[in-house]
Chains A and B, each alone.
Chain A
């Protein structure tokens, strides 16, 4: 299946901003994160199709996964 992965803030350093990738059915968010060399404790916000999910979330065809480190502002 195809999913779109978007990276933000420091996660982009030496990686990419946006990438479409092919991955096996049922791939979990955590597997993508591990494959990117991002350690799980650095994760701040994980969104799939604009909804917060955990690393245990199984992705589906056409999903957009957005990964942010812990960030703040206001």
Chain B
């Protein structure tokens, strides 16, 4: 990863590429690379879909190595959904392949005039950019199928569906999994719309003839990786719960704890939650000949995903994640796993964020476009998005836009991005993260659920405000660092509880780069990333008043705990005061 590929999509006479040394980004990766580049190079007041915005694609620090769990790909830009800086990451094969190709980042900049649609092919021999208008408005599954006909089964495919081409604000960027299904999405913040604005339909990454990246100290790296894997295997969450049930094991947890946002955030318990739980989902998947255990990239030892088949045993989609099952399920009053799986497939195919799409359907149901619980109507609404009808374009632009167009008062968003599957009133800690994250509402930015609800990595009372600001601060710092390593965030469950597993991660980084990083250096990296993101957002016009939840979380208590969100504004403003 010693070079950066920069492509000016708007250059006179067609896209112009240059390769430059990695320079100041040497030894960085993932979110650190994307956020530092965006903060340095993108005008904070740029229109997100204009020539001044840039799409930065970066593999993690350890991606492309033999290390376990190193397959996260970060995509950064100014978000068209939030107006803030954005880093959205996904699993799949792309990060490993891009890293082996030697690129620390691909930067797409400028904006072509005209209607030509481009694809970019990268292999060990170089980069080829070509026009391919036959791909226009293809959705992700047929798109990848068509590209496989030309490029074969070896590459990793990074693509946008019709939503990205239409520059819808919920549009995602899809990455293929080991079986070449476009199921792993950089979902949040409309990054697919930015790729669409650059007229890039697909990036095809082929590492044929290339080996794993070599650590500075291969033996130490191998040893550290072995200890790291042992740590993941022995922790109950990463070694047992996630492989067996996937992330959807959380449906029953959040429902029992009264923190499961139901009917567009009107109550904290979904009466039919058990029907769409991880336990029920895993049983159904196995019964139908699918699988409850599947990795999104080679080298994953947690295997939190799965394969969801229909009643006839035909593939429908990958195992829908907890947040997807929530957004399209309980949030919309839908208790049918087949409907939820169908919606998950549609979202992946069109290329939209499942959290934003489900939250939007919830808002649309509040507006009276459909009844809560009506699965067929939910499918019809998402079909509108696929067709690109005026209604579909509104829905595909997310919960905030939909709420405004249809006059809905209570719209669960922060900085324009939908709040996911954990209500901040009975879980105060996650509310601090939603409100203050540099990304808009994002549970992964500082996953306070772990300590508030799951009692992993500590114990903070979810119903009280004490300790939540410090907790969110620490988690946001740690997450910004982990998102830079290329490691899947789920390693956090093991490294928070097991000091020797955290040490193994440090040993991996040090063996790979020949450094002597300590825990303090990791904290410093996280702060550096967050500081860059905060700097961008400040210059883009964001103030402390944007670091708040929508008012109804402060005014409307929710059953069963009958609480409102009550962390004071003064406390919230201390999150980044380190």
Contact = CB atoms under 8 A, between A and B. Distances in A.
A23 interface: no
Interface in B35-82: none
Contacts of B238: 72
Contact of A47 (B235, B246, B256): B256
B456 A70 contact: yes
Given A45-B257, A50-B257, A70-B241, 5 more contacts: A44-B455, A44-B456, A50-B269, A66-B252, A72-B454
Contacts of B304: 73
Contact of A69 (B236, B248, B257): B236
A12 B389 CA distance: 47
Chain A's interface size range is: 20 to 34
Contacts of A44: 236, 454-456
Interface string A56-74: 0000000000101111111
Interface of A: 6, 8-10, 12, 17, 42, 44-45, 47, 49-52, 66, 68-74
A3 to B, nearest CB: 15
A45 B253 CA distance: 8
A42 B240 CA distance: 12
B127 to A, nearest CB: 36
B237 A10 contact: no
A69 B252 CA distance: 12
* B contact face: mostly helix, strand, loop, or mixed: helix
Nearest to B559: A50
A63 to B, nearest CB: 13
Contact of B240 (A6, A10, A52): A10
Contacts of A68: 252-253, 256
Helix, strand, loop or mixed for chain A's interface?
Answer: mixed
Contact of B490 (A17, A42, A49, A72): A72
Contacts of A47: 256-257
B80 to A, nearest CB: 25
A59 B302 CA distance: 36
Nearest to B449: A74
Contacts of A12: 279
Interface string B212-247: 000000000000000000000001111011101111
B450 A69 contact: no
B322 A74 contact: yes
Contacts of B105: none
Interface residues of B, number: 45
27 contacts: A9-B241, A9-B244, A9-B279, A10-B241, A44-B454, A45-B455, A51-B463, A52-B453, A52-B455, A52-B461, A52-B462, A68-B253, A70-B235, A70-B237, A71-B236, A71-B245, A71-B249, A72-B241, A72-B250, A72-B456, A72-B493, A73-B250, A73-B278, A73-B304, A73-B321, A73-B490, A74-B322
A73 B257 contact: no
B24 to A, nearest CB: 32
Contact of B244 (A10, A72, A74): A10
Interface string B431-449: 0000000000001100101
A74 B247 contact: yes
Interface in B237-287: 237-238, 240-242, 244-250, 252-253, 256-258, 268-269, 274, 278-279
B235 to A, nearest CB: 8
Nearest to A70: B236
B146 interface: no
Contacts of B278: 9, 73
B82 to A, nearest CB: 20
Contacts of B269: 50
B539 interface: no
- Would you list the 7 A-B pairs with minimal beta carbon distance, nearest first? A73-B247, A72-B237, A50-B258, A70-B236, A71-B241, A66-B256, A73-B250
Contact of A73 (B322, B455, B462): B322
Contacts of B322: 73-74
B489 interface: yes
A44 B249 CA distance: 13
Contacts of A8: 249, 252-253, 256, 279
A73 B489 contact: no
Contacts of A49: 560
Nearest to A13: B244
Contacts of B247: 73-74
B431 to A, nearest CB: 15
A47 B258 CA distance: 10
Nearest to B235: A70
Residue from B256, B304, B450, B454 whose CB has the most chain A CB atoms within 10 Å: B256
A50 B268 CA distance: 10
A73 B249 contact: yes
Contacts of B449: 74
Nearest to B450: A72
A17 B246 CA distance: 19
A10 B242 CA distance: 11
Contacts of A6: 256
